[in-house]
Structure 1
């Protein structure tokens, strides 16, 4: 009962404090509003000398009082009656600096003021004086002119600026007003050397703030340059919030070394804590074509679903397979020494797969996989290289883009209709010849999107007089005009764009979701279904497309896909008897054999017959329905709205805690189930690493950059943030446009073109 009473009393106290704080905040905002109006000439003169400010509780941070501070002497007063404070402090001469304020440079008396003239600075009239009485009875003063607002910028009271009939000519013209204000400000500072204390932080607060700043710079991984710490505006910001200036050298010295050691110790402790791990290797595909450079990231995936950064390798030019093999093996032995069996596999993006096969053949317990994100992107390249439809559409788009961009009359007409239809103008992106020869689809996709988004403007160009004049003399113009009028051209364009987008969207989802190896078969089946629907929609023969998909599937396929699919309780299927059994019926006969071969390879020879017997038992008995349902339980993701597995770790934990009778098969299952199917790592700013590759071969420079990458990657993986700042900025500035039906747009008024 006493506890309840105390709780109620505490709640009442908190409520009372919040109400008081709101009232104080409202009083403060009201005073600020009054002062702002006064400074513009619509209120009492004394507000130019008084400033309201809040005092806050140290514990709660809530405002506890409003005070007034005198600009001239920094004295602090109650804010209950500003008028009385001004009368007693300023009028009676209590303020030591009020009467000694800077006198007018001109000797002309203020009483002679009546019209426009030279600006002078004079003291305000005392309360109760005849001048003050006249001002009170006169209409409100107008808003300050720009010249007097400029004086305010330099800290000089604009209410003390008056105009004279006599002209005081300043040799520098109106621009001298700023210099005059600075002179007056200097005089005031000399007569009243006290300055506002500003923000005063304790040493622990300063140290903590600098630590947070350093962490932000490190974790930005090159997006924030170290030299920007010396930018004058940033220095001014630090001063404004009460922090000392910081220097780039401080951030790349002992502070970086200490941060790296702290993160490294934590990372290695977590790796030692796990029974086994997987290596993910991303970046072997050259990212900087101009300089033939790339940054290879090596990450450690743990069974509990977390990933830890390990190291970065800078590579130049084409990378031989044996070099990649050496780098991967050095990374493994660097983590676990002679206990190499702790590394149960590797997943890597595109480089010669011979390295993965060699390591797997020499170490029977390893499962080395190709990245599925890379596999889906490579499929688009297959389409570009081998489907006639893709080549035809690419060539036609290049013809249209070159004609529009490089024919001045047509370009001007095109821009006119772009502005009319879309509100802005742009040139059509053209595929560089090197990209066309390398079958790089990204620039092709951009060119197709540009063409589709300009469909209406292109149609209107054909009706314009400049096109008619050009087409009379240019056969190429007539051919391009016929192409734009042809609905078949737009159908083909839309078909290619739709298929590429279908595969790109799946690849993007793979990059974001990072599926495990057991999901690979399902992903490729989903792709086949979607492509089949695409063929039906655009009336395209399936044979050629299916052939390319199957060939890419075989290149990426690994027996671990089938084995993990069978052993993961997530994919168990309920039969007519109520049992939850592994989905063998969804495998091909060859894939069933792959399951047997892989499982026996992953155990010792003495265990081979035992593990096959346990596999047969698993096939016929499966898992208890309650446990199976618990593993497969889903919940809605509050961010995306999609249904997701409630506990992704359940599949592995069931084998370790419940299915203990499967001793040999269980050891295989827990190692297979957690393996990642992608190597997508974190993204970072490439410009800094490009410079290091070119100029940073000195040991000290390379060592600092390695430490910086390690700290940044550790933070990003900890937050599960694998995007780059460039991607986030692009998303921020991208307008959310709906998906337009381009074909319908083409068909509108097509008869008139």
Structure 2
């Protein structure tokens, strides 16, 4: 019965589709005919008629084909275009058609006049059409205009007016006639005009986009002619940069700031993140230090940015950190349970921790891994040897014209393109290993081409002229050189990849021990692969580990249900067996420091109970449940907040231990979040005399950073605040420095 009822509907749908196909085929046929006419191979009237495809409002399918007159916008049936042209155009029905104008094919070339009749939708199409008519009717290819088309003296009343700009003037002439036509009979497109509220709303959204995307949208782009044309096209007024740096900026800043402060008030405690104390690589004395607030629910909020000198003493850093904390929570400094900062003055972190017993102040692990690469550079002779050999090779290839030419020849042959071996511009003593690593990468990927250069005649000639050629040749032929280069490259890449993962994933403090153990395991495999003694490398890793280590690493690892291990009895117990005896003592010492003196013995008793009983298996499995990330494909914890929530809602019998656990578990192990483009802070430093300019830049940074963190975009993008580059400096000067006009 159901099948019977649905048959008519299916038949009706099929019939509609068949009819739509027929209509569409008719439309395409007319379009083809008109296109041929535009090229001078069809009827004259197609210059004024255009096929239109009409869709059904119910089904959305094509239901009819119509013809529209370019001159008066009248619409007709498309069943007989020739008849439509005769009745509408020739017989004078169209008010804008000059009946005195005859088809071009019916008049002699000497009396040909081009009728410029631009459609409202596209003046360029009309110009192309008349140009084709011109080619057919005028052997001189000179554009001539029928002056009667323009009425009262728009153009000089000359029988054969020559356009001074040649054929390109046809488009301009079409636009002129279109403007005259609109002035004579103005009409507003239905539904296009925007109300004042719509305009205001659109400009608010545009301002939000500019503020939140100021890393990729400069203020100068607002004045770009194409962008202004777009605003006009959609019915919006043009904007100037100053409009977005006055009251509109102030209002947006207050809105974002209020939202941020409300979130902080709702949280029981927070962690202060501080990044930027590390001296930058630009050789400048000033650094931009960013402050963020990390909340227990996993969100981060931007607080402020501050310019400090690279030589700032430890007590100054301590004052700035404490000032930022009190600025957030006033006298309730207990609300800040810790600080995470990149490496600057570790003494400041220790002092604040000693003065405030409830605080856990950590060093950034991302910077710790980057510092480890510097340790390798300074302490491992292998690094120095490989770097010097690569520099010698690169200099020989780049600066010897014959060798360089041969090198490029074999690069093209082997890789399809050429490049020079990039050489560091600074001495190795600066320990900025990035450029050195780039040089090593260039050398490795050019290995085959370098080998072929040695077989080229140019190298034999260079060997007789350059005493270094023989040494470089022996080095390139030596397998040991390539093994050492590959080994150094592999070790640096190993550490850099782990640092990048730390920066991207932003691990919590409980993961620190796991990360460093993973590093040790990978380095051990590296030593085995390249037959390098483990002693020297292990020594540097342990030295860097001790500099970064904090007892909170071990305590959070033990208290986080995420790392509980199921034993043979089925219980889920904390992984004490993976701690060293000293780390176990660190857990006890930290626990007694973070609670009051009266609670210390209770907290230790609860720790013993946690160690022997652990967590209910069902809750432990719920905390450790994973799911596949649809973007990366990696398995991730389904609910990262479960670890903390279990302590707050289920493990309520651990009164003292629970207070410590919920504070430790959410702490971030990195101060990463974003970086500010150096061009911005250079501009601010250059114009630091303008207090208003600094204030506006701070507000822009606050809005943009807030949005970035809101989207949980923790990438270290140096273009986040790219406001001052090249030509944009002038715009910033106008917007921020000339405050009298704001």
- TM category (shorter chain) comes to 0.7 to 0.9
Match of residue 712 from structure 1: 704
C-alpha distance in structure 1 between counterparts of 2:429 and 2:245, whole Å: 43
Q: Deviations over 1:34-88 (max 9, x none)?
A: 6555544565544443456688999999999876553323445566776655444
C-alpha distance in structure 2 between counterparts of 1:369 and 1:63, whole Å: 67
- Does the 8 Å contact 2:675/2:718 carry over to 1? no
Match of residue 199 from structure 2: 206
Pick the aligned partner of 2:630 from 623, 628, 638.
638
Shift of 1:208: 3.1
Provide closer, same or farther for how the CA distance between residues 207 and 687 of structure 1 changes in structure 2, counting only shifts above 3 A.
same
C-alpha distance in structure 1 between counterparts of 2:374 and 2:285, whole Å: 20
- Does the 8 Å contact 1:24/1:63 carry over to 2? no
Shift of 1:157: 3.4
Return the TM-score normalized by structure 2: 0.85
C-alpha distance in structure 2 between counterparts of 1:261 and 1:457, whole Å: 60
Match of residue 288 from structure 2: 295
**Is residue 133 of structure 2 the alignment partner of residue 164 of structure 1?**
no
Pick the aligned partner of 2:585 from 560, 569, 593.
593
C-alpha distance in structure 2 between counterparts of 1:20 and 1:103, whole Å: 41
Shift of 1:536: 0.2
Match of residue 258 from structure 2: 265
Match of residue 549 from structure 2: 557
**Is residue 370 of structure 2 the alignment partner of residue 377 of structure 1?**
yes
Pick the aligned partner of 2:565 from 570, 573, 595.
573
Provide closer, same or farther for how the CA distance between residues 242 and 355 of structure 1 changes in structure 2, counting only shifts above 3 A.
same
C-alpha distance in structure 1 between counterparts of 2:409 and 2:186, whole Å: 60
Match of residue 228 from structure 2: 235
Match of residue 112 from structure 1: 108
Provide closer, same or farther for how the CA distance between residues 23 and 342 of structure 1 changes in structure 2, counting only shifts above 3 A.
farther
Return the TM-score normalized by structure 1: 0.83
Match of residue 681 from structure 1: 673
After TM superposition, the structure 1 stretch with the greater mean CA deviation from structure 2, 243-252 or 625-634, is 243-252
Runs of 5+ in structure 2 lacking a partner? 145-160, 721-742
After TM superposition, the structure 1 stretch with the greater mean CA deviation from structure 2, 473-482 or 522-531, is 473-482
C-alpha distance in structure 1 between counterparts of 2:97 and 2:636, whole Å: 70
- Does the 8 Å contact 1:428/1:450 carry over to 2? yes
**Secondary structure in structure 2 of the residue aligned to 1:295:** strand
- Residues 313-712 of structure 1 mapped to structure 2, 5 A cutoff: 313-434=306-427, 436-712=428-704
Q: Deviations over 1:431-470 (max 9, x none)?
A: 1234x12111111111001111111111111111111101
Match of residue 98 from structure 1: 97
C-alpha distance in structure 2 between counterparts of 1:675 and 1:452, whole Å: 41
- Does the 8 Å contact 2:116/2:174 carry over to 1? no
C-alpha distance in structure 1 between counterparts of 2:256 and 2:101, whole Å: 58
- Does the 8 Å contact 1:48/1:159 carry over to 2? no
Give the superposed CA RMSD. Answer: 3.6
**Secondary structure in structure 2 of the residue aligned to 1:442:** helix
C-alpha distance in structure 2 between counterparts of 1:447 and 1:64, whole Å: 66
Pick the aligned partner of 2:176 from 171, 175, 186.
186
Provide closer, same or farther for how the CA distance between residues 165 and 602 of structure 1 changes in structure 2, counting only shifts above 3 A.
closer
C-alpha distance in structure 2 between counterparts of 1:155 and 1:498, whole Å: 62
Provide closer, same or farther for how the CA distance between residues 674 and 40 of structure 1 changes in structure 2, counting only shifts above 3 A.
farther
**Secondary structure in structure 2 of the residue aligned to 1:682:** coil
Shift of 1:424: 1.4
**Secondary structure in structure 1 of the residue aligned to 2:107:** helix
C-alpha distance in structure 1 between counterparts of 2:357 and 2:26, whole Å: 74
**Secondary structure in structure 2 of the residue aligned to 1:433:** coil
Provide closer, same or farther for how the CA distance between residues 278 and 726 of structure 1 changes in structure 2, counting only shifts above 3 A.
closer
C-alpha distance in structure 2 between counterparts of 1:726 and 1:118, whole Å: 67
After TM superposition, the structure 1 stretch with the greater mean CA deviation from structure 2, 449-458 or 196-205, is 196-205
Provide closer, same or farther for how the CA distance between residues 74 and 466 of structure 1 changes in structure 2, counting only shifts above 3 A.
same
After TM superposition, the structure 1 stretch with the greater mean CA deviation from structure 2, 21-30 or 567-576, is 21-30
Pick the aligned partner of 2:214 from 221, 230, 233.
221
Shift of 1:373: 0.6
Pick the aligned partner of 1:275 from 255, 268, 275.
268
C-alpha distance in structure 1 between counterparts of 2:356 and 2:560, whole Å: 24
Shift of 1:182: 2.3
Shift of 1:472: 1.6
- Residues 139-154 of structure 1 mapped to structure 2, 5 A cutoff: 152=125
Provide closer, same or farther for how the CA distance between residues 87 and 300 of structure 1 changes in structure 2, counting only shifts above 3 A.
farther
Shift of 1:323: 2.2
C-alpha distance in structure 2 between counterparts of 1:362 and 1:58, whole Å: 74
Shift of 1:290: 4.1
- Does the 8 Å contact 2:126/2:174 carry over to 1? no
- Does the 8 Å contact 1:39/1:48 carry over to 2? yes
Q: Deviations over 1:293-347 (max 9, x none)?
A: 3322111111111111111112344332222222211111111111110111011
Match of residue 148 from structure 2: none
- Does the 8 Å contact 1:28/1:54 carry over to 2? no
After TM superposition, the structure 1 stretch with the greater mean CA deviation from structure 2, 520-529 or 714-723, is 714-723
Provide closer, same or farther for how the CA distance between residues 150 and 341 of structure 1 changes in structure 2, counting only shifts above 3 A.
closer
After TM superposition, the structure 1 stretch with the greater mean CA deviation from structure 2, 221-230 or 75-84, is 75-84
**Secondary structure in structure 2 of the residue aligned to 1:157:** helix
**Secondary structure in structure 2 of the residue aligned to 1:445:** helix
Provide closer, same or farther for how the CA distance between residues 313 and 99 of structure 1 changes in structure 2, counting only shifts above 3 A.
same
Provide closer, same or farther for how the CA distance between residues 639 and 172 of structure 1 changes in structure 2, counting only shifts above 3 A.
same
Provide closer, same or farther for how the CA distance between residues 587 and 37 of structure 1 changes in structure 2, counting only shifts above 3 A.
farther
**Secondary structure in structure 2 of the residue aligned to 1:647:** coil
- Does the 8 Å contact 1:309/1:714 carry over to 2? yes
C-alpha distance in structure 2 between counterparts of 1:535 and 1:365, whole Å: 42
What count of residue pairs does the alignment treat as equivalent?
Answer: 688
Runs of 5+ in structure 1 lacking a partner? 125-148, 729-753
Provide closer, same or farther for how the CA distance between residues 26 and 121 of structure 1 changes in structure 2, counting only shifts above 3 A.
same
C-alpha distance in structure 2 between counterparts of 1:474 and 1:723, whole Å: 47
After TM superposition, the structure 1 stretch with the greater mean CA deviation from structure 2, 399-408 or 68-77, is 68-77
- Does the 8 Å contact 1:410/1:466 carry over to 2? yes
Q: Deviations over 1:349-397 (max 9, x none)?
A: 1211111111111100000000101101110111111111110110011
C-alpha distance in structure 2 between counterparts of 1:51 and 1:488, whole Å: 76
- Does the 8 Å contact 2:116/2:126 carry over to 1? no
Provide closer, same or farther for how the CA distance between residues 578 and 169 of structure 1 changes in structure 2, counting only shifts above 3 A.
closer
C-alpha distance in structure 2 between counterparts of 1:290 and 1:61, whole Å: 64
C-alpha distance in structure 1 between counterparts of 2:49 and 2:259, whole Å: 54
